[in-house]
Chain A
């Protein structure tokens, strides 16, 4: 429409004075709740926003993410799958070495070394790991994998294999151990190792047999259903876990395995409300990996923490990590634990938020918001706020209480830097000291600097403003 063709509908951003003077002429004017961007980011913002590739690049990234259909196609040991030897360990978050590793990550690595028989005692394991010469550490993300909390994967652990039906691309994740004293929270006591041994000896093979007999499970479809059943797929996976069990139960029973093993496996899965988390995470990664490496795209494709650093990767900047200090979550503590016992934020599970679930789908799971003493309205407000920093609304993950609006997905670095609104992450809390296990759960955000740093790299790769 031509500017002069009629009464223009007016939007005002900035000084309230100008909006007021339009209102004084009896003309309706809407306003923007504008805030200054992160300090010193103005030139980078202009350069990235002026990048002629940006708009199409972000559309491409979003379309690729949304086109992925994740299916669980197999369950196999990590060793052959990922080419891991007894001393090769994967971990959550951006790259890190033993010296900078936090308590829970060290604890989980000690546990893995004991589990793989590389060390005879925790002290022995610590010596071997600290020496480093015979050990290799790599982020899960560097091997198409994700791991919750410490995210430590070693060769004898069994992995879910998630595949995109259309492209055949795959991602991987270990099997969830449950809550409390577990390896991923940094515990490595005998009960932790016994559970891992049982998972490798009984649970993994059983799931493999059942799944191969039954055929692939559509994880994306389960995610869509569970979001309508009160799960946000990060801190609440109750409905997803039960639906997954329902999918697999006939094949488990019909597998011919000893009834006692089947019963034990079913009891284990049904008793662990977070079992589905380890399917949700690789499904989210599969979708986000499809959006990687689109030149000019400012969409975040990974958020991950190693207990020391919080890192993000962005579509337009390849595999580069932008890192800053991981924050301590705000939340509720188990038993006598308190904030001083909590380790900074850890785990690859923020991949769920990156894909539009977890904190971004908080409105679907109001129970979660009470981790910080909030009200149901806060859950709705959190999801609503995330639309301010995302590129799209998910066509499959829809929230009943928001009139089935799709969850906010595809975090845009430029929007985070402009608004200062940080992604809301729901998370568990690991004990600061190695060997402690879980101490609580709560809410956390990334350090804002990682988005400003990513923006700077995007700006450096963009043409100058003409």
Chain B
């Protein structure tokens, strides 16, 4: 029934010699059928099939219509709607082709696709850990070296990738150690350092950053820094990438001295690495951190000694006035795991028990609240605290919150922090923590900061140090010096 109450009106035409392809006509039909007041429409070449279709829709079609004619059949509720529909047919049939072409350039969706289009030498993988294997495997398929920044890569997948790389003469760097310098390019979290004679093999990200920053301070550049992954010297991985990286640096004419810096290794792996290092032509300094081992600053000094270079006074930036130390405990709030480890080793030597989320001993583990009235150190870069959150070297807000809480905690006396500069790190990391430092200092805490970075880093180290000092912090280029100073403040106030 029509809206006007009268019968539907129809228009049927077989237009001689007009042609459009069937797809165009289907679109025209759809557009006309969508015109208000239209009950039915068919715009199609008058083939037998389409004539049948039209008859089936109740149209009386001209007998003379043939397959080279264009059939236009419209039924509408009134003459006005019918006229509108006929206009719509004409408009649709004469519509110019769309000039808005969609881009046809499909970006590569996988590493394999990108490498098929254009080769590369090094692939940086920073997808979520469970997906890192696929991209890294693509890179190896294409004969590339790989740097994996991702955390949470299953260890058996790391081993599989590294075994394969070893057999194919490639290097898989990472995971869990987002630092490398290759061909002068800083990758991941890396500092701006000049070229020089020292080749670093790093199974510790911030360990490598501290070491290269101190060497840079002494005027010594590096040939390369190969971050082999925080687990590489574990029993499970067995130093697979460390051995490859040692061989690469041994063959590199620019490398005169190799330094291996690692989180505490598995003993048998350390032995194997030592044996391998002994066979190389290039001398190797092993900086395998742990209880009773030299700290990173001492390691830097011994490297300089091997190069016959004097160790400078490591920079310090001191505020005009500081509060007298009050009795209480030490609170380490770190973004770098190795720096946290180093500080804990130094602290435990004179203060005893240091609770932590990455404890030196299993029975020193902090409970889930991460609270305790005693000495404690938190690694905010640990996997558990970065799941679904940016790394604290990118976003310092979680640490700042904690520092504010320490300011209100009467059991806290000294806060010890690291601020890490360089490529990949926050643009202004001192600003993230400065307000909290100021509040803590006003509350009577002493705040000490290890500022890890070089004069060439994009954040401008002097400005960063100035901002921290203005907030009331004592700032050290050496984390070990900062930790020792913090420990002696706590121990001195206790006595």
Contacts and interface: CB of A to CB of B under 8 A. Distances in A.
Given A10-B185, A333-B30, A370-B27, A388 B113 contact: yes
A30 B118 contact: yes
B454 to A, nearest CB: 14
Interface stretch (B155-163, B300-308, B367-375, B487-495): B155-163
Contact of B223 (A4, A55, A421): A4
Interface stretch (A18-26, A208-216, A295-303): A18-26
B121 A14 contact: no
Contacts, number: 223
Nearest to A27: B185
A14 B109 contact: no
Contact of B224 (A4, A25, A49, A464): A4
Given A18-B424, A377-B104, A381-B106, A36 B149 contact: no
B53 A334 contact: yes
A340 interface: no
Prevailing SS type, chain B contact patch: mixed
Contacts of B23: 332, 367-368, 370-371
B51 to A, nearest CB: 11
Interface residues of B, number: 82
A466 B109 contact: no
Contact of A388 (B109, B127, B187): B109
A465 B160 contact: yes
A14 B124 CA distance: 8
Contact of A49 (B107, B123, B137): B137
Interface string B236-271: 000000000000110110100000000000000000
B159 A32 contact: no
Given A15-B126, A377-B103, A37 B110 contact: no
Nearest to A369: B23
B388 interface: no
Given A34-B109, A46-B134, A465 B30 contact: no
A12 interface: yes
Contacts of A22: 124, 185-187, 423
Given A15-B126, A34-B127, A335-B56, A45 B149 contact: no
B285 interface: no
B125 interface: yes
A64 interface: no
Contacts of B118: 30
Among B57, B134, B157, B458, the one with the most A-chain Cβ atoms within 10 Å of its Cβ is B134
A421 B109 contact: yes
Nearest to B128: A36
A85 B33 CA distance: 47
Contacts of B423: 21-22, 24-25
A184 interface: no
A375 B101 CA distance: 7
B450 to A, nearest CB: 22
B252 A4 contact: yes
A135 interface: no
Contacts of B105: 384
B24 interface: yes
A311 B106 CA distance: 27
A18 B115 contact: no
Contacts of A246: none
B40 interface: yes
A419 B109 contact: yes
B111 A11 contact: yes
A465 B156 CA distance: 6
B88 interface: no
B127 A13 contact: yes
B428 interface: no
B21 A367 contact: yes
Among B100, B121, B137, B249, the one with the most A-chain Cβ atoms within 10 Å of its Cβ is B121
A385 interface: yes
Interface residues of A, number: 72
B111 A18 contact: no
B20 to A, nearest CB: 11
A12 B24 CA distance: 43
Contact of A46 (B101, B133, B188, B252): B133
B52 interface: yes
B405 interface: no
Interface string B9-36: 0000000000001011011011001000
Contacts of B91: none
A241 B292 CA distance: 83
Contact of A385 (B52, B106, B163): B106
B26 A30 contact: no
Interface in A1-51: 1-4, 6-15, 17-19, 21-22, 24-25, 27, 29-37, 42-43, 45-46, 49-50
Interface of B: 21, 23-24, 26-27, 29-30, 33, 40, 42, 49, 52-54, 56-57, 98, 100-115, 118-128, 130-131, 133-135, 137, 139, 141, 144-145, 149-150, 154, 156-157, 159-160, 163, 171, 182-188, 223-224, 226, 248-249, 251-252, 254, 394, 423-424, 458
Interface of A: 1-4, 6-15, 17-19, 21-22, 24-25, 27, 29-37, 42-43, 45-46, 49-50, 55, 178-180, 332-336, 367-368, 370-371, 373-378, 380-381, 384-385, 387-388, 414-415, 418-419, 421, 440-441, 464-466
17 contacts: A8-B182, A9-B122, A14-B125, A18-B149, A18-B187, A19-B124, A22-B124, A30-B114, A30-B120, A34-B127, A49-B134, A55-B141, A334-B53, A335-B40, A368-B23, A380-B104, A384-B104
Given A10-B121, A13-B126, A17-B394, 12 more contacts: A2-B248, A4-B183, A7-B185, A8-B120, A9-B121, A15-B149, A32-B113, A42-B131, A55-B141, A335-B40, A381-B106, A465-B157
